Amino acid sequence: MSASESSTRTAVSFDLLAISIVSIAIVGISSAPVLVAPFVRVSLGIVFVLFAPGYALVSVLLPERTAIESGRARQITIAERLVMSIGLSAIIVPLVGYALHYATLRIDGAAMVSFVGAITVALAVLAWGRRRLASDPFGIDPFGAMDRTKAFLVVPRQRRETALNAAIVVGIVVAAATIGVTAATNENGERYTEFYLLSGGAETEGAVADGYPVEVTSGDSAAFVVGIANHERESITYTVVVQLQRIDAAADDRAITERVVLDTFEVSVDSGDSVEREHVIEPTLEGEDLRVTYLLYAETPLEDPTAENAYRSTHAWIDVTASVTAS
């Protein structure tokens, strides 16, 4: 292999290799947050998600130095690639978030960075293959820095292009640093708890937000799955009060005419974590359209727990029929 061929091959793969290594490093940092200061970790993560996945996708879509525009080949500048990288990253990252949400997977900073990192590495590998097949592949030669520096000092056009590239990079770094400082020091962000009911088994993948038991025979039991997701930025031991309520459907305010407490239990959830626990009830009232109400308290419940004084509440409707005894 000649020196020129070796240099060309290095140029074709250097940026893709670098972005893959950076992706793996960032994923490692996000997985071990105690090893890196919050400001540094957040800043690196933001720079990464703002640029890396988009750059890898641009490399897949534009493996060659030139593109056909109005029937003529035109060279794509590094500045244009940087701008397109940021724009595509702004599309890729939200799509990853939506995918995690609809896949019912945990969504947090570490998960986002891990999935974006995996996508970036996969796109970089695909881009490398595309460049290998290109007639005039784009690449960045790490050993040509001195020549580019000389060209910057001599050629006005290249000087303008380099200045634009530098301005874009500086803008990204400044924006990331600003957001990083805010994210690392802000203590006033939204804090909340998700509270929900599912049907199915908590230990399986069959728990879903519908298909609740609708008819129960008196003396039998019905199972629900109680879900709690803690976004309060601190570990909390929640208290759940379970009530069976009879509702006056004819009244305008659908007032509660009778209620009994079926159970009270505690659930400890770490900050940023979620818990789904199967809970079995044994109805003690009979009738149609009885409401099984779960009341969530982040502190000790009041003596008269209601949906109005609970931190969160959720419910499901059931019919409880009298058991038939054999004569």
Query: pLDDT truncated to tens, each residue of the chain (327 aa)?
Result: 444 444 445 455 778 888 899 889 888 877 766 566 666 777 777 778 888 899 999 888 888 876 666 566 677 777 888 888 888 888 888 888 777 776 655 666 677 888 888 999 999 999 888 888 877 777 665 555 455 545 544 555 555 555 655 665 566 555 555 554 444 444 445 688 999 998 765 444 555 555 567 889 988 999 999 999 998 888 999 999 999 999 987 777 778 999 999 999 999 999 889 999 999 999 999 999 999 999 999 988 888 999 999 999 999 999 999 876 644
pLDDT at 143: 52
Q: Which CATH number fits domain 192-321: 2.60.40.10, 2.60.120.200, 3.30.1180.20, 3.40.50.720?
A: 2.60.40.10
pLDDT at 106: 60
Classify 45 as helix, strand or coil. helix
pLDDT at 1: 47
262 CB contacts (<8 Å, ≥6 apart)? 242, 243, 244, 281, 282, 283, 284, 292
Q: Where in the chain are the domains?
A: 3-185, 192-321
Phi and psi torsions of 115, nearest 5°: -70, -40
Structure tokens at 289: 């359209």
305 CB contacts (<8 Å, ≥6 apart)? 241, 243, 261, 295, 297
Cross-strand pairs, 58: none
Closest to 12 measured CA to CA, from 191, 147, 122, 132: 132
* Burial environment of residue 37 by CB neighbours within 10 A (0 to 12, 13 to 18, 19 or more): exposed
Cross-strand pairs, 312: 296
Q: Which residue has the tokens 């050993």?
A: 143
312-321 and 215-217 as β-strands: parallel, antiparallel, unpaired?
Answer: parallel
Classify 197 as helix, strand or coil. strand
Classify 98 as helix, strand or coil. helix
pLDDT at 287: 92
Amino acid letter, 121 = V
- Whole-prediction pTM value? 0.48
